Amino acid sequence: MRGICELIDALIAQERLLVVGSAFVDVIVHVPRLPLSGEDVEGSSRQQVVGGCAFNVADVVAKLELPFETLIPIGEGMLAERVRESFRMRAMATREYHDLGDNGWCLSFVEPSGERTFVSMSGIEKCFRPQWLDAVAPEAQDLIYLSGYQTDERNADFIAALLERKRPDARILFDPGPCADRIPQAMKEAVLAANAILKVNASEARVLAPAADVETSARTLSLSTGCPVVVTDGARGALVVEGEEMLRVPGFPVHVVDTIGSGDAHAGGMLAGLMCGFPLPEAVLLGNAVASWVTGEEGGASAPNAARLRARHA
* pLDDT per residue as tens digits for the range 123-139: 999 999 999 999 999 99
pLDDT value, residue 116: 82
Spatial distance between the Cα atoms of 160 and 180, rounded to a whole number of angstroms: 18
Spatial distance between the Cα atoms of 218 and 109, rounded to a whole number of angstroms: 28
Entry field: residues in the chain: 314
pLDDT digits (tens, 9 = 90+) for 13-43: 999 999 999 999 988 888 999 999 999 999 9
Residue type, 168: P
Residue type, 302: S
In a domain, 109, yes or no: no
Strands 69-71 and 17-20: parallel
Beta bridge partners, 17, equal: 143
Q: What residue numbers bound the domain in which 180 lies?
A: 4-23+52-103+124-313
Return the half-sphere exposure (C-beta side, CA atoms, 13 A cut-off) of residue 250. Answer: 7
In a domain, 166, yes or no: yes
Q: Which residues contact 273 (CB under 8 A, 6 or more apart)?
A: 7, 282, 283, 284, 285, 286, 287
Nearest of 64, 135, 60, 65 to residue 97 by alpha carbon: 135
Beta-carbon neighbour count of residue 10 at 10 Å? 14
Percent pLDDT > 90 in the chain is 76
In a domain, 154, yes or no: yes
Rounded mean pLDDT of 166-195? Answer: 93
The total number of structural domains in the chain stands at 1
In a domain, 117, yes or no: no
State whether the Cα torsion 28-151-238-68 is positive or negative: negative
pLDDT value, residue 201: 94
Spatial distance between the Cα atoms of 267 and 273, rounded to a whole number of angstroms: 10
Q: Where do the H-state alpha helices sit in the chain?
A: 4-9, 53-63, 78-89, 156-165, 185-192, 202-208, 214-225, 262-275, 280-295, 306-313
Average model confidence (pLDDT) across the chain: 93
Percent pLDDT > 70 in the chain is 99
Domain at 11, CATH number: 3.40.1190.20
Residue type, 108: S
pLDDT digits (tens, 9 = 90+) for 47-97: 788 989 999 999 999 999 999 999 999 999 999 999 999 999 988 989 999
pLDDT digits (tens, 9 = 90+) for 63-75: 999 999 999 999 9
- Fill in the DSSP letter of residue 100: S
Spatial distance between the Cα atoms of 154 and 182, rounded to a whole number of angstroms: 13
Q: Phi/psi class of residue 101: alpha, beta or left (left: φ > 0; alpha: ψ in -120 to 50)?
A: left
- How many Å from the N-terminal Cα to the C-terminal Cα in the chain? 16
In a domain, 89, yes or no: yes
Q: Which residues contact 164 (CB under 8 A, 6 or more apart)?
A: none
In a domain, 118, yes or no: no
In a domain, 42, yes or no: no
In a domain, 38, yes or no: no
Rounded mean pLDDT of 226-240? Answer: 93
Nearest of 113, 201, 181, 190 to residue 157 by alpha carbon: 190
- Fill in the DSSP letter of residue 50: E
